[in-house]
Structure 1
Amino acid sequence: MKKVSFAEFGGPDVLHLIDAEEPHAGPGQVRIAVRAAGVNPFDWRVREGQMLAAHPVELPAGVGQDASGVVDEVGEGVDGVEIGDPVFGEGASTYAEFAVLSAWARMPEGLTFEEAAGYPSVVETALRIIHQVGVRSGQTLLVSGASGGVGSAVLQIARDRGITVIGTAGAANQDYLRGLGALATTYGEGWVERVRQLGRVDAALDLAGSGVIRELVELTGDPQKVISIADLAAPELGVRFSGVAGSMPDALAETVGLISRGRLHIPVEKSYTLAEAAAAHIDSRAGHTRGRRVVVV
């Protein structure tokens, strides 16, 4: 099978499309014929060697953790899913023609494979950080870097829970944020005052790692009311860095419910082939995403 792999840590040029042996489902797992794989910042951080303390990597290594596809192998002890079922979920080395998933859910009706591949990690992250930051119905949440995949999920989940959201993004994404129910403003010079004009901030999330932790603490008045998923230096200012995933099966179940109720939709901004994985990482690292990027198999 074809698979994206890297044999050394480094830039996008270390990614290569290789011929590899097919993986097989172990106990409690399923294998899918991959139709699409989600592109996450986690993927290029692993490739660059940033995550070794929390995520040891044995080289050569595959890339990707989110995917959608059709079940073609069911491991021992697995029930509730059959060969031929369309599913989406989380596994390992998902930029490939076949991948093993350790957590999955049946795809909601009406969802394409490309769309489905963009949900697992971003929705799990969104649910986790909304819980960790302790924001409640009737309060206001500030989201810095709100137009990407996690931001898109946070805005919609918060709205479903009665939380007001102020979102910052580039000028081109202001209407996109408003369409998701957020009060939108641009980042850049004067952004703190623009946020203040939109209302009081009870809690804040840093999704972009753009050096705004001090300002988020200033706006909330308490470092414990700020969570970052992108700035590894956040703990130096008393702000929690959230990098350990919670229960993916629970997150997938909630994702299915939100999608089925019409309360969550994350668009796919751009698709890439397996051979274009390096370009996908370059674009992901550059930011300014509106929704999700996916690799299509």
Structure 2
Amino acid sequence: MKTRAIVINQYGGADQLIQDMVELPELDEKQVLVKVHATSVNPIDWKLREGYLSQMMPWDFPIILGWDVAGEIAEVGAMVTDWQVGDKVFARPETTRFGTYADYTIVDDHLLAKKPEAISFEEAAAVPLAGLTAYQALFIHGHLKAGEKVLIHAGAGGVGMYAIQLAKNLGAQVFTTASEKNRDWLEGLGADQVIDYRSTDFSEVLSGIDLVFDTMGGEIQDKSFRVLKPETGRLISIVGEPNLELAKEFNILLAKSIWLNPDGSQLQKMADWLESGQLKSIVGETFPLTAEGVKDAHQLSETHHAKGKIVLKNKESNK
């Protein structure tokens, strides 16, 4: 079937984003077709748009960006048993050139989670990629335990705000870097100490940290080794390979870069927490799922100063 989508036909700036009709692949027997009510913007979207990931993802054009979806199932594959047409779901689909900036998108059935009744489609769309990234960094790779100290860089960002809540709910002591204007908000989410990165060098005021969750890279990543506990300290990055020489110098147990693995069962855990109120999804800005709306959303994301998640609402889905 054909779907309206926001696509790129070549790499470049936000002006490459255009609306077009795209033929979707045939639905496999273990896939569902989701009518997209909302999706969201993540830095990977505009990094891919710019061409930074073209070697890792050597796709044909047109490319539909977007790797978050919240919506309703419109069609199910022949072997799908756990889901039916009309189910309200959200997901982080597999990474393909047929993304979620569209009226319809295809999702493997094992990657779906039930949309919590307690939250909107927009709030649900904000969760999958950022929430799963935080979950996997802290628990699967970082092995965070109750009572440990964790430093989460850029706590006001899309990934950071989920990481703070997940770590606090586990029983960890949570430190985060952010601007002063976000202090009260982040403390409300569970941060025990908010370090204003504009006025304070975190590496001069922190020590004995068990886990650093690095969302910044560069000099901030390098300085993070100084605050970790020797022998047992861990650093997990989502932005670049850590300097293993520094890890050795500071006698760090683990330093690695991770890539998100889509996972429906982990997302369902987060859905249950969202339903019970243990986890909050915070939508910072909402834009329409149109070429102009996506351009504006990308430009905001590229400033690195968005608070919460940037969501794209599909007004077509209500027709």
**TM-score, with structure 2 as normaliser:** 0.85
Map residues 264-279 of structure 1 onto 2, 5 A cutoff: 264-273=279-288, 274-275=290-291, 276-279=293-296
Match of 2:113 among 92, 105, 113: 105
Matched, 1:40 2:42: yes
Where do 1:113-152 residues align within 5 Å? Answer: 113-131=121-139, 132-152=141-161
Q: Which has the higher mean CA deviation after the structures are superposed, 177-186 or 50-59?
A: 50-59
In 1, Cα distance between equivalents of 2:145 and 2:133: 17
Amino acid at match of 2:99: S
User: Aligned AA for 1:100?
Assistant: I
Contact 1:166/1:195 (8 A) holds in 2? no
Residue 204 (structure 1) aligned with residue 209 (structure 2): no
Q: Is the 8 A contact 2:274 2:281 kept in 1?
A: no
1:145 corresponds to which letter in structure 2?
A
What is the distance in 2 between the residues matched to 1:24 and 1:64?
19
1:173 is matched with 182
Counterpart CA distance in 2 for 1:266 and 1:277 is 21
Which residue is 2:102 aligned to?
96
Deviations along 1:4-58, one digit per CA (max 9) or x if unpaired, are 1111111211111112335553221111111101211111121122223433322
Percent identity between matched residues is: 29
The residue type paired with residue 173 of structure 1 is N
Alignment-derived partner of residue 258 in structure 2: 242
Q: How big is each residue's C-alpha offset from its partner over 1:150-179, in whole Å with a ceiling of 9 and x where there is no partner?
A: 111111111111111101111221111101
The runs of 5 or more residues in structure 1 that have no matched partner are none
State the partner residue of 1:255: 270
Structure 2: segments with no counterpart, 5+ residues? 248-254, 315-319
Check whether the contact 2:151–2:212 (CA below 8 A) recurs between aligned residues.
Answer: yes
- Counterpart Cα distance in 2 of 1:246 and 1:193: 31
Aligned partners of 2:120, 2:25: CA distance in 1, in Å? 24
Count of matched residue pairs: 293
Deviation at 1:218, TM superposition (A): 0.7
Q: What do the CA deviations read for 1:222-247 (whole angstroms, capped 9, x no partner)?
A: 596111112x253465541112x235
For residues 282 and 242 of structure 1, the distance between their equivalents in structure 2, rounded to whole angstroms, comes to 26
What is the one-letter code of the residue matched to 1:281? H
Contact preservation (8 Å) 2:34, 2:73: yes
Shift of 1:73: 0.7
Decide whether the 8 Å contact of 1:146 with 1:207 is kept in 2: no
Matched with 1:69 is 71
Partner of residue 228, structure 1: 237
Taking structure 1 as reference, are residues 111 and 290 closer, same or farther at Cα in structure 2, changes over 3 Å only?
same
Separation in 1, partners of 2:164, 2:52? 28
Q: Normalization by structure 1: what TM-score?
A: 0.91
CA contact (8 A) 1:108 1:259 kept: yes
> Are the counterparts in 1 of residues 203 and 226 from structure 2 also a CA contact under 8 Å?
no
Deviations 1:54-77 (A, max 9, x none): 333222211111111111111121
Give 3-state SS (helix, strand or coil) of 2:23's partner: coil
Deviation at 1:2, TM superposition (A): 2.0
Partners of 1:222 and 1:2 lie apart in 2 by 53
Give the Cα–Cα distance (whole angstroms) in 2 for the partners of residues 279 and 209 of structure 1.
25
Partners of 1:159 and 1:18 in 2: how far apart?
43
